[in-house]
Structure 1
Amino acid sequence: MWHAIAQQLSEVLAFDFIIREKERLSDGDCNTCYMISDGEERYFVKVNDREFFSKFESEIDNLSTLLSTSTIRVPQPVTCGMTKTHAFLVLNYLPTKPLAEPKDAFDFGQQLAMLHQWGEQKEYGYDADTYVGLNLQPNAWHKHWGFFFAEYRIGWQLQLLKEKGLDLGDIDQTVELVKQTLGAHSPKPALLHGNLTSNNYALSVSGAISYDPSSYWGDRECDIAIIEAFTDLDDEFFKGYNRVYPITEGYANRKHVYQLYYLLCRCNELGGDYLVQCLDKISQLDL
């Protein structure tokens, strides 16, 4: 496997890359992770089964799109490919540590706000389907946000759960409640990171950096809602964000719907307590 990875990396780099150092790193939620080096250049490698290749292709596309905005820092994608037994993804290697200092959290908030202000898009969606962890995320373009989120996010996940034998109630009813909650809310489509949980950002030598995106054009509040629910970022992050792009009125009512989506994604992967949390969030839609 490693010979094939070195060979493809050599083709991309246009010089003979020989792996002289290989270190196993802490694994992510889905992948086995390594640092490799030829003695001069270091790269971060994710390895998984061959069927993960499409996920790695999607990640490279998302990272490249985010890099093109010159707003939020993300790793530089290098290549992805397959061996006879595995799929792999190669990124530039950046040593990181926890994002702990208030100033760094403030700067990270400003970065995300600038991403959400970047670009012009009239519809919600993306040119390709993406992934949240192992969950396929359909991104067919649509003009109406409430319909897009209710059908392609909540309804999609509920149907996947039902096919696994996990029944969270009447899908059509829940989808309709989501549409009612979002109502006439028609936010400016923003390019989202899409997966800003606590293990998907850190501090690098050049500042805060995020990774493992699940990007699409949607309501910026989706990124904010997942940060509130699944990270320990403090008030300085939100101060930084609001300094650039203040959060609008009504977010407090909508965030529970957005958080429900990410809970459903985790329930689809992990089950357990997430099932109870999903049922609790769905019950709040009736209030």
Structure 2
Amino acid sequence: MWQNIERDISQVIGEEFSIKHKQLVTGGDINLCYWLSDYQHNYFIKLNDKPRLQQFETEAYSLAKIKQLNAIACPDVITTGTSLDKSYLVLEYLPFNHAGTKNWWLFGKQLAQMHQQSSHGQFGWQHDNFIGNTQQPNDWQSNWRTFFAEQRIGWQLQLLAEKSIIFGDIEHIISVCHDTLLHHQVTPCLVHGDLWQGNIGFSDSRVFIYDPASYYGDREVDIAMTELFGQMPDEFYQGYQETYPLQSGFDKRKLIYNFYHILNHANLFGGVYIEQSKANLNRILALY
């Protein structure tokens, strides 16, 4: 496997790369991650079973789309590939450090610029991708309410129902989520799609985002998720609002947007997230 990775990197960079240093590093719950170096070039490697290659390929595609905008930084994609029994994604290695107040403000500003500069004609993506290990459908749709209610909330509820975890009538819940978004005017833009603090890093005073689950959607889904597992520092929201202010009613809509991620955690991990999903649904129904 390591020989395959050395060969693929060498082909991309146009010179021989031979692993001199290999160190296991933290990289989430899904993949094994390593820092590889020949003392001149440094790379971050994600490893998983061979059938997971599609996840790495869709992640690489999203990173490339973010990179093209030049609004906010993300790691360079070096290559993806497979060995006899493993798949891998090779990225630029970034040594992260502590972020100051100015870094967080700049992050908010750059995220707003990414949202501003990436308008699109429809909601969706060029292909389905993944949110964690869960497939994320992205069929093109001109109506945001329909897209999110059906391809986000309805999809997760159906996956849970297949595990005999039922929250109520799926069509009714879809209808409630659809109608709650009824008067919200949305311009499709490129969203990160899984924007929590674990997918943000700072290196040499620059902010980087990674592990995207991107699609063209409502920019508010990114801001909503920054509040789901503990809010970002206030400076982040100040930088965003100064650049691209949110519309009124966001506090109501974010319940629906974050419901998607809580449902996904219920699908992936069960346990407390099932109860959290029920509580979140009750808050949404109370607004209806």
Question: Which residue identity does 1:225 align to in structure 2?
Answer: A
Letter in 1 for 2:270: G
Secondary structure at the aligned position of 1:164 is classed as: coil
Is this contact kept in 1: 2:138–2:215, CA < 8 A? yes
Aligned residue type for 1:228: E
Task: Measure the CA separation in 1 of the matches of 2:27 and 2:235.
Answer: 29
1:31-71 Cα shifts (integer Å, max 9, x gaps): 11101111210000000111110000001100000000001
Structure 1: 5+ residue runs without aligned partners? none
Partner of 1:250: 249
Q: For 1:283, what is the secondary structure of its paired residue?
A: helix
Distance 1:30 1:97 in 2: 23
1:242 alignment partner AA: Q
TM-superposed deviation, 1:184: 2.8
Superposed displacement of residue 29, structure 1 = 2.2
- For residues 65-101 of structure 1, give each alpha carbon's deviation from its aligned partner in whole angstroms, at most 9, with x where no partner exists: 00000011110001000000100000011100343x2
Maintained 8 Å contact 1:105/1:236: yes
Counterpart code for 1:283:
N
Rounded Cα–Cα distance in structure 1 between residues aligned with 2:106 and 2:230: 16
| Residue pairs, 1:144-223, within 5 angstroms | 144-223=143-222
CA distance, structure 2, for counterparts of residue 195 and residue 53 of structure 1: 19
The structure-2 alpha-carbon separation of the partners of 1:136 and 1:35, relative to structure 1 and needing over 3 Å to count, comes to same
User: Shift of residue 231 of structure 1?
Assistant: 3.8
> Aligned pairs, how many?
286
Give the 5 Å matches for 1:4-153.
4-99=4-99, 101-153=100-152
Letter in 2 for 1:278: S
Task: Give the unaligned 5+ runs of structure 2.
Answer: none
Which residue of structure 2 lines up, in the alignment, with residue 230 of structure 1?
A: 229
- Residue type of the partner of 1:10? S
Secondary structure at the aligned position of 1:136 is classed as strand
Structure 2 residue identity aligned to 1:12: V
Measure the CA separation in 2 of the matches of 1:23 and 1:286: 48
Instruction: Give, in whole Å, the separation in 1 of the partners of 2:43 and 2:207.
Output: 19
TM-score for both structures, normalised by structure 1: 0.97
Q: Cα distance 1:98–1:171, how it changes in 2: closer, same or farther (>3 A)?
A: farther
Q: Distance in 2 between matches of 1:14 and 1:268?
A: 43
Q: Which amino acid aligns with 2:112?
A: A
2:42 and 2:120 map into 1 onto residues whose CA distance is: 37
Which one-letter code corresponds to 2:2 in the other structure? Answer: W
- Letter in structure 2 aligned against 1:160: L
Conserved 8 A contact 2:35-2:42 = yes
Bigger mean CA offset, 4-13 vs 259-268: 4-13
* Contact 1:129/1:138 (<8 A) preserved: yes
Percentage identity across paired residues of the two chains = 39
Give SS of 1:141's match.
coil
Task: Give, as a single letter, the amino acid of the residue that structure 2 aligns with 1:15.
Answer: E
Retained in 2: the 8 A contact 1:29–1:133?
A: no
CA-CA distance at 1:230 after TM superposition = 2.1
Determine if the alignment matches structure 1 residue 275 to structure 2 residue 274.
yes
Q: More deviation in 172-181 or 20-29?
A: 20-29
Q: What is the CA-CA distance between 1:206 and the residue it aligns to?
A: 4.2
Q: Is the 8 A contact 1:76 1:92 kept in 2?
A: yes
CA offset at residue 247 of structure 1? 0.9
Q: Which amino acid aligns with 2:253?
A: R
Q: Secondary structure at the match of 2:285?
A: coil
Q: Do the aligned residues in 2 keep the contact of 1:19 with 1:37 (CA within 8 Å)?
A: yes
- Are 1:22 and 1:35, in contact at CA under 8 Å, matched by a contact in 2? yes
CA offset digits 1:135-161 (Å, max 9, x no partner): 111111111110000000000000011
